[in-house]
Structure 1
Amino acid sequence: MSSAFIIRKLVTSDINALLLLYENVYKTTNSMVKSWIEQCPDQETFCAELRTLINNPDGLFLAAATETQLLGYISIQPRSPARLRHTADLSMGLHANARGKGVGRQLLQFALNQATHHSSLEIIYLMVRADNTSAIKLYQTNGFKIITTLEKDTKVGDQYFDGVLMSYWLTKY
Structure 2
Amino acid sequence: MREYLLKSGQHLLVKLALPVDASRIIEYCQRVGGETDYLSFGASEFDKTIPEEEIILQQYCNAENQLYIYAELDNQIIGLLDVSASHKKRIRHSAEFGLSVRKDFWGIGVGSCLIEYMLDWARSNAHIKKLNLKVISNNESAINLYRKYEFTMEGRITKEFYINDQYYDMISMGYWLE
TM-score (norm. length: structure 1): 0.88
Identity over aligned pairs, percent: 23
Which sits farther off after the overlay, 95-104 or 33-42?
33-42
Is the 2:22–2:53 contact (alpha carbons within 8 Å) kept by the matching residues of 1? no
Tell me which residue corresponds to 2:69. Answer: 62
Runs (4+) off by over 2 Å: 34-39, 41-58, 79-82
Tell me which residue corresponds to 2:95. Answer: 88
Is the 2:70–2:77 contact (alpha carbons within 8 Å) kept by the matching residues of 1? yes
Which sits farther off after the overlay, 52-61 or 92-101?
52-61
Within 5 Å, give how 1:56-135 maps onto structure 2: 56-135=63-142
Shift of 1:160: 0.3
Tell me which residue corresponds to 2:143. Answer: 136
SS of corresponding position for 1:5? strand
Tell me which residue corresponds to 2:4. Answer: none
RMSD: 2.1
Q: Which runs of 5+ in 1 are unaligned?
A: none
Shift of 1:120: 1.4
Shift of 1:87: 0.3
1:165 aligns with 2:157: no
Tell me which residue corresponds to 1:147. Answer: 154
Structure showing the higher helix proportion among its residues: 1
Give distance in 1, aligned partners of 2:112 and 2:92. Answer: 26
1:135 is matched by which residue type in structure 2? A
Give distance in 1, aligned partners of 2:110 and 2:104. Answer: 10
Give distance in 2, aligned partners of 1:95 and 1:157. Answer: 21
Which sits farther off after the overlay, 38-47 or 127-136?
38-47
Shift of 1:44: 4.2
SS of corresponding position for 1:33? coil
Q: Which runs of 5+ in 2 are unaligned?
A: 1-7
Alignment counterpart, residue 7 of structure 1, candidates 9, 14, 20: 14
1:140 is matched by which residue type in structure 2? R
Q: Aligned pair count?
A: 171
Tell me which residue corresponds to 1:21. Answer: 28
1:34 is matched by which residue type in structure 2? F
Give distance in 2, aligned partners of 1:156 and 1:67. Answer: 33
Give distance in 1, aligned partners of 2:42 and 2:57. Answer: 17
Shift of 1:35: 2.6
TM-score (norm. length: structure 2): 0.86
